[in-house]
Structure 1
Amino acid sequence: MVSNILAALSRKKRDCIGGESKLDRVLDLVDLTALGVGATLGLGVYVLAGSVAKSTAGPAVAISFLIAAIASAVAGLCYAEFASRVPKAGSAYVYSYVSVGEFVAYVIGWNLILEYIIGTASVARGFTNYLDTLLDHKIKEELTKWFPMKLSFLSEYPDFVSFFFVIILTVLLCIGVKESTRFNNVFTILNLTTIGIVLVGAGWNADTANWKIEKENIPANVTWAGEGGYFPFGFAGIMAGAAKCFYGFVGFDAIATTGEEAKNPQKDIPLAIVISLFIIFFAYFGISTVLTLAWPYYDQDKEAPLPILFENLGWPALKWIVTIGAMCALSTSLLGAMFPLPRVLYAMGDDGLIFKILSKIHPKFKTPLLATMFSGLLAGFMAAIFNLEQLIDMMSIGTLLAYTIVAICVLVLRYEPNMSERKFLCTIEIHKKEDSDLISLFKLLFNLNNNKQATLSTSVLTKWATAVFSILSIVFCSFLVFAVDSISPSEPLIFILFILTSISLLINMLIIGRQPVDDMQLSFKVPWVPFIPCLCIVINFYLMLELDLHTWARFIVWLIIGFLIYFFYGIHHSKEGITQRKELEIRQQEMKDKMNAINSKGTNDITSRL
């Protein structure tokens, strides 16, 4: 068992590039961009902007979205490079399988499944909550009356509306990719049109006085409004808002799962990721700006801010136009959240790491039918029995872990020599006595000899430096999360340790940056390597450590279930593992035949002499 685990840790996917796809290649740049926008531009605009403005950041919610956009952009750039390297279905799962190893890839894939299930369920539940708010909470009242669920870890009532809505879109996804993307494209256009109407309507009623409300002018019945002005909750509120707004950008990675259904994946997927992130940011920034200009931040509605805004402004026609647009937007967001899940299940099933039946492609529809049906039923069930807050608590951790692994993979592959150079196996050699001193080690770490060619030795050095950087990032972020008030000269031990950790981080990043890179030509490359991937790692670890203990506990339970499936099924049915075992058996048989031939020749020589 131990040897199998070690083999799984080291073996990598080799047949990921090239070969004919079993899926239908029908998606162009417009389809991919619309998929990314539709998957992401939903709850963030129609719920999150008002919610964060009201209780977390105030009018400075626009700055919170800007910070969240920067955090998402660095991850998006890493995804874009990997999409140009590995144009296959499976997203970060395949990327990590190629560059890190099977076991790590399985962990990432298992957590992507969690992310997409919860993402789908949370959008469906948000859709129902939005509709219920406009219907004066009639849905909640009736379902609670007829089907009460009095368990603290479940919703107050089973949300059948969310369940059936998920099932309807599941059927649409089963029929075909092109049919579902047509639906997505039409609704995305309606979504962007609605946002344009909001920008014009709310902008028409903009009043900068709503950004300058003094604390004493805030109504007495408002219990939570901070200090007033543009920054009512201070810098801490902006950062807390950024942490929440970050989840509004989760979804662009849906584009990266379409590698086998895109017409030109190596060019169109990176472009679609970058374009969709720009569109999403400008929509969030614009909506959050006009929303707080048109109406005081403390009086925003947390569940349906835009329709309630136009109701307060006395524009009922716009209220219902925006309501219809919001329904369309949340529909596309739900479709975008559901779209990647069966693709990840398909990729993992095709590799043999989870049950093989999930990789079956329907001969007529050219979609992973069973994986899609299973995804829809599971997501619909979770949407029905859990409330929105419980779902959102688990939404981020799988995403952040996936983003972190992708950033690490960028560093690993950027400094990895290509296959044509591997024959020049280069190891650290010691020719002279002085080669073992500290000066030579210093020259090696910082490449003071100005080597221009990436070799196996520089690659190994980069991997070690990346591993050390990741560990130091966890320590660095732990200081910021758990001991930020103690980082001062008045606490000398913590202050010195923080300074040393910070310096060590910078030194490790410098060591990585000094190594020669692979000159492989790609349609897109992350700029400013290693700074961008390293920044992505630090940001993601910081946000992961901000999650509460209950989220980590549920995450560990999910991992235990995944490990049981892997160690009792996946490790034995892995396609790559089976291939490598067969290759090993062939080599052993060849060696055995050679030894038999040598022994036979020796016996014949002895016989002839006698």
Structure 2
Amino acid sequence: MLTYYRYLITVFRSWTTSIMTYLRSMSWREFKFAMRRKKYVVAEENSKLAKVLTTLDLTALGIGSTLGVGVYVLAGEVSKKYAGPAVILSFLIAAIASVFSGLCYAEFGARVPKAGSAYVYSYVSVGEFIAFIIGWNLILEYVIGSASVVKGLFTYIDSLSDEVMSKWFREVMPMNVDVIAPYPDFFSLGVTVVFSIALAFGAKESSRVNNVFTVVNLLVVLFVIISGLFHVDASNWNLSKEEVMEGTNNSTEYGEGGFAPYGFNGIIKGAATCFYGFIGFDCIATAGEEAKTPQKSIPIAIVVSLLIIFLAYFGISTVLTMILPYYAQDEKAPLPHMYEAVDWEWAQYLVTAGAVCGLFSSLLGAMFPLPRVIYAMSSDGLLFEFLGRIHPRFKTPFYGTLIAGTFTGVLSCIFELSQLFTMMSLGTLLAYSMVAGCVLILRFDNNNNDLEANFTYVDMLKQMFRPGKKTATNLTAKLVAMEVVLYVCTCFGFAAILSQCNLSEDGALPIVGVAVFGSMALALVISISLQPRSETKLPFMVPLVPWLPALSIAINTYLMTMLEALTWAQCGVWLLIGLTIYFAYGLWHSAENSQSVDDNQRKVSVKQ
């Protein structure tokens, strides 16, 4: 073991020496250019991936990847612990936040119909270094998301079989290590490998299987909503505190009764939890390079899938909380518990079939975008070349799909579900915020070939408070980019105070901080709205720019600040590994590095 650690230290020192030697050979101007170089994207260029996905395929992919086991669990958990019957408002808030992010993704899907999702979007608009960070976080999101889904599938099937698999694994192959699972889960490993092989054989074939699973899942959800209407009792939405105390044996843990027993804070906490039930629609944008008509299909698929997902969550949560009081919900299996309470035990088997199909479609939806992001990054030279090789027959990133699937399977095999879930949300919210910021930057970008190189910060301050430019120039584009960065920083300050402090009890200082950061954020958005805009016309454009993307950033940063410090630390370790790869390999293997273009002439070329 000591020899192994010495080998790792030697490799790390060698990488570090190579990185420092390379960086010393560059001037500061060259290094700054390398970190900020942007990607040229031409919509008409030939793709190595097969363009086989229709609008229906993309919509089913978005629904399948998002509407998984959460629809069978989330409503019961949130209503019992956080929001009560007001869980429908929690889902509404989460849906609005998701729609804001979804509209930003839809615009970029119309603007940049390439595989890679937020990674490519940020590469096009912000630069290579930030794009690598976003892409690296997306890999983490999809790996952990896939491992979590397949682990949930194992847990669900194992519970139905009276824990036969887990008992056998625990007895035959125990692992007595604190940081990993108590036994290896070879079921999850096997399922993940099988699914990765299926995905490697072709996007169209895997989308057909996903369509079947998604249809079954939606039919079961529809059955639950319609059948539940025969047993609803509206009085469960207005229970008095005395009724709650009587139903819970005088327990004080279930709020004050009524429609929102835990108050407004409970609704917001519930919305933060419900938000994760909408994670997954971004896989639609990731599959853009394989869509037949991406400019039209991606916006439609995102909006329609999010609408259907919200209606499903809204209907399920309404039926659940009207049939049973919120405090009587089963957190782990609310729907079977509901049917048991109304003496429809036969319906439990139908719900179980829908849950299994939902898990299968979620697994396909979670695993589908992972090799596409790896393919995009390796094609750009930021990850190792062999990961992006396209199979000549199947037209998929064959090796990247198999390697990513195997890595995901190993994680699901040796870690528990709770250990896998902690890091997924941060990468997702960071990607959503990045895409919204990119929308703002590109909407105010200079596409008039006006170099206007000689301007000062004084000129920028004048333009900020007294806009004199009527058309977008380099000055206005740089000003908006700086304002977007400042806006994100102020949102983090505002959200950190709001989420970590109690404004009614912690004195005047937090209130002053909220007022200062809030005023700064509002002033920055107003200034951005006054700047001249790009004249580029797109098939789909986010409405109410800059207000809607700015609101999306604010909501996402607030949800990020509510995550635990351990989650940030874990993502920090992952980021450190990624930065080592970037500086040791990606920085000088970048495809953009091979193009000898002057810094002032490197403008993003997005041909419609």
Instruction: Give the TM-score normalised by the residue count of structure 2.
Output: 0.90
Given candidates 485, 503, 520, the residue that maps to 2:503 is: 485
Structure 1 counterpart of 2:366:
337
TM-superposed CA distance for 1:447, in Å, is 4.7
Q: Are 2:403 and 1:374 equivalent residues in the alignment?
A: yes
Instruction: Find the aligned partners of 1:497 and 1:296 in 2 and give their Cα distance.
Output: 40
Instruction: Find the aligned partners of 1:258 and 1:25 in 2 and give their Cα distance.
Output: 10
For the 8 Å contact 1:99–1:412, the answer to whether it is kept is yes
Instruction: Find the aligned partners of 1:555 and 1:575 in 2 and give their Cα distance.
Output: 27
Change in 2 beyond 3 A, CA 1:11/1:543: same
Structure 1 counterpart of 2:17:
none
Given candidates 306, 310, 314, the residue that maps to 1:285 is: 314
Structure 2 counterpart of 1:601:
none
Instruction: Find the aligned partners of 1:384 and 1:234 in 2 and give their Cα distance.
Output: 40
**Mean Cα deviation higher: 491-500 or 517-526:** 491-500
What SS does the aligned partner of 2:528 have?
helix
For the 8 Å contact 1:447–1:515, the answer to whether it is kept is no
TM-superposed CA distance for 1:279, in Å, is 0.6
Structure 2 counterpart of 1:13:
39
Instruction: Mark the runs of 5 or more structure 2 residues left unpaired by the alignment.
Output: 1-22, 602-608
Given candidates 56, 61, 71, the residue that maps to 1:45 is: 71
Instruction: Mark the runs of 5 or more structure 1 residues left unpaired by the alignment.
Output: 588-610
Q: Rg: which structure is higher?
A: 1
Given candidates 295, 299, 306, the residue that maps to 2:324 is: 295
Instruction: Find the aligned partners of 2:455 and 2:165 in 1 and give their Cα distance.
Output: 73
Instruction: Find the aligned partners of 1:442 and 1:101 in 2 and give their Cα distance.
Output: 24
Instruction: Find the aligned partners of 1:224 and 1:294 in 2 and give their Cα distance.
Output: 21
Q: Are 2:335 and 1:306 equivalent residues in the alignment?
A: yes
Q: Are 2:367 and 1:348 equivalent residues in the alignment?
A: no
TM-superposed CA distance for 1:16, in Å, is 4.7
Structure 2 counterpart of 1:383:
412
For the 8 Å contact 2:452–2:473, the answer to whether it is kept is yes
Within-5 A mapping of 1:66-105: 66-105=92-131
TM-superposed CA distance for 1:441, in Å, is 7.3
Change in 2 beyond 3 A, CA 1:442/1:53: same
Code of the aligned partner of 1:445: M
Structure 2 counterpart of 1:496:
512
Within-5 A mapping of 1:219-234: 219-220=248-249, 224-234=253-263
For the 8 Å contact 1:38–1:188, the answer to whether it is kept is yes
Instruction: Find the aligned partners of 1:330 and 1:84 in 2 and give their Cα distance.
Output: 30
1:441-475 per-position Cα deviation (integer Å, ceiling 9, x unaligned): 776224554x4311111111111211211111111
Code of the aligned partner of 2:573: V
Change in 2 beyond 3 A, CA 1:494/1:199: closer
Instruction: Find the aligned partners of 1:224 and 1:175 in 2 and give their Cα distance.
Output: 52
For the 8 Å contact 1:120–1:337, the answer to whether it is kept is yes
Given candidates 543, 561, 565, the residue that maps to 2:559 is: 543
TM-superposed CA distance for 1:155, in Å, is 2.1
**Mean Cα deviation higher: 42-51 or 9-18:** 9-18
Code of the aligned partner of 2:545: V
Q: Are 2:157 and 1:128 equivalent residues in the alignment?
A: no
For the 8 Å contact 2:455–2:475, the answer to whether it is kept is no
Q: Percent identity?
A: 49
Instruction: Find the aligned partners of 1:313 and 1:44 in 2 and give their Cα distance.
Output: 22
Given candidates 476, 498, 509, the residue that maps to 2:494 is: 476
Given candidates 459, 464, 482, the residue that maps to 1:464 is: 482
TM-superposed CA distance for 1:33, in Å, is 0.4
Structure 2 counterpart of 1:413:
442
Within-5 A mapping of 1:36-185: 36-185=62-211
Given candidates 284, 295, 301, the residue that maps to 1:266 is: 295
Instruction: Find the aligned partners of 1:307 and 1:331 in 2 and give their Cα distance.
Output: 19
Code of the aligned partner of 2:471: Q
For the 8 Å contact 2:66–2:277, the answer to whether it is kept is yes
Given candidates 54, 57, 61, the residue that maps to 1:35 is: 61
CA RMSD, 1 decimal: 2.2
For the 8 Å contact 2:75–2:313, the answer to whether it is kept is yes
Code of the aligned partner of 2:464: L
Structure 2 counterpart of 1:525:
541
Change in 2 beyond 3 A, CA 1:100/1:204: same
Instruction: Find the aligned partners of 2:321 and 2:455 in 1 and give their Cα distance.
Output: 64
Given candidates 319, 326, 348, the residue that maps to 2:355 is: 326
For the 8 Å contact 1:26–1:263, the answer to whether it is kept is yes
